[in-house]
Structure 1
Amino acid sequence: MNGKTALVTGGSRGMGAAVALRLAAAGADVAITYVADEEAAAAVVRGIEARGRRALAIRADAGDAVAPAEAVRRTAETFGRLDVLVNNAGVGVLGPIDQLVPADVDRVLAVNVRGGFLAAQAAAGLMPRGGRIITIGSCMTQRVPGPGGTLYAMSKAALTGLTKALARELGGRGITANIVHPGPVDTDMNPADGPYAEGQSAMTALGRFGTPDEVASMVTYLASDEARYVTGAEFAVDGGHAA
Structure 2
Amino acid sequence: MHAIGIIPARYASTRLPGKPLIDLGGKSMIQRVVEQAQKSSLSRVIVATDDERIYAHVIAFGGEAVLTAANHPSGTDRVREAYEQLHTDADCIINIQGDEPFIHPTQIDALVALFARPNPPQLATLVKPVVSDEELFSPHLPKVILDTQGYAMYFSRHPLPYQRQYPSADWLLHHRYLRHIGLYAYRPDVLREITQLLPSPLELAESLEQLRWLEHGYRILTAETELTTLGIDTPEDVERALVQLKIES
Q: TM-score, normalised by structure 2?
A: 0.36
Higher helix share: 1
Structure with more of its chain in strand, by fraction: 2
TM-score, reference length from structure 1: 0.37
**Bigger radius of gyration:** 2
